[in-house]
Amino acid sequence: MFADTEIVFEFINPEKRPEIIAEARKLLAQVDLEYDKQIQTLLVGRHNDQLIACAGLDHNVIKCVAMLPAYQGCQLSLKLSERIQKFAANQGYNKLFLYTKPHNEILFRQCGFYPLVTIPDTLVFMENTPVGIKRYCEQLSKLKQHNEAGAIVMNANPFTRGHLYLVEQALKQVPWLYIFVVSEDASLFATKVRYDLVRQGVQHLSRVSVILGSEYIISRATFPTYFLKSAQQIEQAYLAVDLLMFRNYLAPTLNITQRFVGTEPYSVITSAYNQAMHNWLENPVASNTPPIAVHELERLVIDGDAVSASRVRKLLAEKNYAAIENLVPPTTWSYLKNNDFSIS
């Protein structure tokens, strides 16, 4: 159809080239995809000045890979994959992930990607190495402390007395407890700060390990939206991938048989997450790995309301520091007083 040298590739900054993004939107629409706004760099390919292919990069997640139907099957996907992986490596991202429709799995396998989780009729989550998750689990296994354990996954934005109460209640039911702190800087408090506050907040407790999350604990910030057609479908797919990654890989590595979460009286999103946990973690047919028992524990209530990080953040915005002191452990309170929140 055309010679390789006839394709012109270019990396662009989406914010600076809106006219090219408009072209990319039209291309994506032809293959039933939408443009994902969470893209930092877009690779485009042209033939005779016509945009025929594109692939986006959002940190270490590849998104919006598309080719005009007339150009598919000519190894153009390999050319896109090679270029965007090389670009990502130069940016410090050697391990890359992508989400795609199940019928595209074979195509991306040919480009060097390997499936991690498949949600039937919805998506496949893949990474660009056959050993990435294996190596991570080998490293994680070095932290194993007991043959039976429980787990809590928390954002802790920031760590509150509610979080501490959940940890204390969970410890009554398991011989060891692992706390995974979600690793994403899409919160008011940076990842390192949140991790340190959790670690300091539970340091007086025995039988607890605090683990900084990895890219295998899925981030809402980078989860794709471009091939899922509704907000409900996006949320359901995100929850399924996140929970199956935990059940299939992390839990077996650390012998985690139970997972704990606080009840959610206010947030619709968090409440949906709790319900999804029962389905994807407890349902025997949801995975080939053993089920994980899910325990919803009643939240700590202070002054008539459940203690939550969102409540603390609201009080911070209102500068109601007197109310905050009663809702957080001394370690969190000390941080708030001595850092960027002007608490006197």
Domains (range + CATH), the chain: 4-95 (3.40.630.30), 134-338 (3.40.50.620)
Instruction: Provide CB contacts within 8 A for 200, sequence distance 6+.
Output: 331
The residues facing 51 across adjacent strands are: 46
CB 150 within 8 A of CB 174: yes
Closest residue by Cα to residue 215 from 287, 103, 139: 139
The residue count of the chain comes to: 344
How far is CA 211 from each of CA 73, 136, 258, rounded to the nearest angstrom?
A: 44, 13, 16
CB 83 within 8 A of CB 4: no
For every one of its 344 residues, what pLDDT tens digit does the chain have, with 9 covering 90 and above? 455 558 899 999 999 999 999 999 999 999 999 999 889 999 999 999 999 999 999 999 999 999 998 887 668 889 999 999 999 999 999 999 999 999 999 999 999 999 999 999 899 999 999 999 999 999 999 999 999 999 999 999 999 999 999 999 999 999 999 999 998 777 789 999 999 999 999 999 999 999 999 999 987 777 887 888 788 888 889 999 999 999 999 999 999 999 999 987 666 677 788 889 999 999 999 999 999 999 999 999 998 899 999 899 999 999 999 899 999 999 999 999 888 665 55
Three-state DSSP at 333 gives helix
Residue 290 corresponds to which tokens in the numbers above? 């053993």
How many C-alpha atoms does 278 have within 13 Å on its Cβ side?
7
- The span from the CA of 162 to the CA of 305, in Å, is 11
Q: What is the pLDDT of residue 270?
A: 74
Please name the residue ranges forming H helices in 206-340. 231-245, 251-254, 268-277, 309-317, 321-325, 330-338
Q: What is the pLDDT of residue 267?
A: 66
Three-state DSSP at 308 gives coil
> pTM, whole model, 2 decimals?
0.91
